[in-house]
């Protein structure tokens, strides 16, 4: 990493809550950075490298100031400093204890706390000012996700010459839920500062347009919102994806295939390996999934001697009370199932509250006969697409919640309502006992979709639409 000096601006600027690097502060106070994995990083790296690009975001460490620096690909990284109080109010508070539950169908009640709103406004202004300082005249700024919904309007006031896109990675709720937000009008006005507002699903875009009609006096026509200043804002679905070809190539390596065989052996060579991979989040439906699995074992429809569920639950937002409660609930359920059905040397649930590198995840996908993606609400769920991309052998089955964005595309999966425990049980059994010919037929259809509509196609389609509108 090398420090970069100020210049006349970048033609393309990306604004996200986090930089695409992880920061490490040594005991002597020195700071080092390493490239962070993630879908957005993979999607945007070619775009950033091909343009005069800058990436604006928080370092992930509070009270850490840093000057802009270039990564190994020549992309300028511009840290936005946030204090510990900012992180508590803007990020842990308003973003993740107000907006996140509200936008996910109020599975857990959101907290409406006025000081958090002020923290959110202040942090959004900091990101917007950083973008205004970095973007060249007539340049393009792409703002990402629910933490930064006020940035487009603030940036529009600061830099009316630039083109602004916004993409929401999580669901946008129906009017009847969004209406609960005390600052609903300010959020809508913030988003309308963009020229293009992108969503994961067509239903999310429709929800947003309905909210605009309810909370403003602006004219809408189809996907367009006509602003009083003469601008036109487009709201449209752009379902995000993964680096499918890269994932497909990874699982074809001998090392990953050997590791997949080893994993099955370590699990006791069961007839059926079920797999769940989630952040430990109440939106992911882990409790519902465990309940369904426990009942299948109790009813004898799945054998505890010949079936194993591997549940990976990566740590998430551990300072938020609802997440602490979820962890307790999940661990009690896992203990109960294993207490009822385990034998010496064999447990029906292997629960892993930790994160794993991509190589290990690829081997897990390849080892699993059935992938369970049973979220109660999810903007997309890229795990479902990763599993499909990993199945170059055209084996395996995907049980997929109809309340994920992925369900719009992956229609050859076994679609379920995760609130319907009996229906989910039937789908799990159907997936576990599916005839190989039927499984191959479904997996071929799934792979055609994922390999064709990859993350490069996603970013290209959004930026092409953005270039055709705005300033």
Residue of 169, 195, 243, 288 marked active site? 169
What are the tokens at 327?
């962890």
Are 82 and 62 within 8 A, CB to CB? yes
pLDDT average, residue stretch 371-375 = 98
pLDDT average, residue stretch 398-408 = 98
Sole residue written with tokens 């917007």: 128
Percent of the chain with pLDDT over 70: 97
What is the C-alpha to C-alpha distance for residues 156 and 197, in angstroms, rounded to an integer?
Answer: 14
pLDDT at 3: 37
Are 123 and 86 within 8 A, CB to CB? yes
Residue of 86, 119, 378, 454 marked active site? 378
pLDDT at 313: 95
pLDDT band for 447, please (50, 70, 90 cuts). very high
What is the C-alpha to C-alpha distance for residues 395 and 366, in angstroms, rounded to an integer?
Answer: 9
pLDDT at 7: 58
244-452 has the same fold as 2-240+457-467 = yes
pLDDT average, residue stretch 173-183 = 98
What is the C-alpha to C-alpha distance for residues 269 and 85, in angstroms, rounded to an integer?
Answer: 50
In tens, the pLDDT along 92-111 reads: 999 999 999 999 999 999 99
In tens, the pLDDT along 150-174 reads: 999 999 999 999 999 999 999 999 9
CA distances from 240 to 199, 261, 279, 414, 462 (A): 9, 31, 18, 21, 10
pLDDT band for 470, please (50, 70, 90 cuts). low
pLDDT average, residue stretch 29-38 = 72
In tens, the pLDDT along 218-240 reads: 999 999 999 998 999 999 999 99
CA dihedral 388→391→396→399, nearest 10 degrees, is -10
Least confident window among 16-25, 435-444, 452-461:
16-25
CATH number of 244-452: 3.40.50.2000
pLDDT at 469: 84
Are 391 and 367 within 8 A, CB to CB? no
- Is 169 part of the annotated catalytic residue set? yes
pLDDT average, residue stretch 49-58 = 86
CA dihedral 185→111→86→150, nearest 10 degrees, is -20
Mean pLDDT of the chain: 93
274: Cβ–Cβ under 8 A, 6 or more apart, which residues? 293, 307, 308, 309, 310, 368, 369, 370, 372, 428, 432
Percent of the chain with pLDDT over 90: 82
Strand order from edge to edge, sheet including 370-373: 349-352, 307-314, 272-279, 370-373, 397-401, 414-416
Q: Where are the domains of the chain?
A: 2-240+457-467, 244-452
What is the C-alpha to C-alpha distance for residues 60 and 22, in angstroms, rounded to an integer?
Answer: 7
In tens, the pLDDT along 325-337 reads: 899 999 999 999 9
pLDDT band for 47, please (50, 70, 90 cuts). confident
What are the tokens at 145?
């996700």
pLDDT average, residue stretch 298-316 = 96
- Higher pLDDT residue, 28 or 157? 157
How many degrees, rounded to 5, is the angle at CA 276 between CA 368 and CA 174?
135
- Is 453 part of the annotated catalytic residue set? no
CATH number of 2-240+457-467: 3.40.50.2000
Residue 122 has pLDDT above 70, yes or no: yes
Residue 320 has pLDDT above 90, yes or no: no
Residue 5 has pLDDT above 50, yes or no: no
Helix (H, G, I), strand (E, B) or coil at 408: helix
What is the C-alpha to C-alpha distance for residues 27 and 46, in angstroms, rounded to an integer?
Answer: 35
Nearest one of 459, 385, 397, 409 to 434, comparing CA atoms: 397
pLDDT average, residue stretch 406-432 = 98
pTM of full prediction above 0.85: yes
pLDDT average, residue stretch 291-311 = 97
DSSP state, residue 378: B
What is the C-alpha to C-alpha distance for residues 250 and 255, in angstroms, rounded to an integer?
Answer: 9
């Amino acid at each position: 990493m090398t420090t970069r000096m100020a210049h006349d601006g970048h033609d393309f600027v990306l604004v996200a809550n986090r930089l695409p690097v992880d920061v490490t502060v040594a005991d002597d106070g020195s700071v080092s950075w390493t490239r962070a994995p993630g879908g957005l990083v993979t999607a945007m790296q070619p775009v950033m490298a091909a343009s005069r690009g800058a990436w604006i975001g928080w370092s992930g460490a509070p009270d850490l100031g840093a000057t802009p620096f270039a990564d190994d690909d020549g992309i300028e990284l511009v840290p936005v400093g946030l204090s510990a109080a900012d992180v508590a109010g803007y990020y842990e508070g308003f973003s993740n204890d107000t907006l996140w539950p509200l936008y996910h169908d109020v599975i857990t009640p959101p907290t409406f706390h006025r000081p958090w709103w002020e923290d959110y406004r202040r942090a959004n202004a900091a990101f917007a000012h950083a973008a205004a300082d970095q973007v060249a005249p007539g340049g393009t700024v792409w703002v990402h996700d629910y933490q930064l919904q006020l940035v487009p309007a603030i940036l529009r006031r600061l830099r009316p010459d630039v083109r602004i896109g916004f993409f929401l990675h999580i669901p946008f709720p129906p009017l009847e839920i969004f209406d609960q937000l005390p600052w609903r009008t300010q959020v809508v006005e913030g988003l309308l500062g963009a020229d293009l507002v992108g969503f994961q699903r067509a239903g999310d875009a429709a929800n947003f347009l309905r909210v605009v009609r309810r909370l403003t006096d602006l004219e809408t026509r189809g996907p367009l919102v006509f602003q009083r200043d003469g601008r036109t804002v487009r709201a449209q679905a752009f379902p995000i994806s993964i680096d499918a070809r890269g994932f497909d190539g990874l699982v074809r390596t001998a090392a990953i295939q050997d590791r997949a065989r080893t994993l099955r052996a370590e699990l006791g060579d069961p007839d059926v390996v079920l797999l769940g991979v989630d952040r430990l989040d109440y939106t992911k439906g882990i409790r519902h999934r465990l309940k369904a699995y426990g009942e299948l074992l109790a009813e004898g429809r799945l054998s505890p001697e010949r079936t194993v569920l591997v549940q990976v639950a990566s740590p998430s937002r551990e300072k938020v009370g609802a997440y602490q409660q979820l962890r307790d609930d999940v661990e009690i359920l896992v203990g109960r199932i294993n207490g009822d059905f385990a034998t010496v040397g064999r447990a029906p649930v292997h629960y892993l509250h930790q994160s794993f590198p991509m190589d290990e995840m690829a081997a897990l996908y390849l080892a699993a006969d059935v992938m369970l993606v049973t979220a109660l609400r999810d903007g997309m769920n890229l795990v479902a697409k990763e599993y499909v991309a990993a199945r170059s052998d055209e084996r395996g089955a995907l049980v997929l919640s109809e309340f994920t964005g992925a369900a719009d595309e992956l229609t050859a999966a076994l679609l379920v309502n995760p609130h319907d425990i009996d229906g989910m049980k039937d789908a799990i059994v159907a997936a576990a006992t599916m005839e190989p010919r039927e499984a191959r037929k479904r997996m071929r259809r799934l792979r055609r979709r994922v390999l064709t509509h990859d993350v490069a196609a996603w970013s290209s389609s959004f930026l092409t639409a953005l270039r055709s509108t705005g300033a």
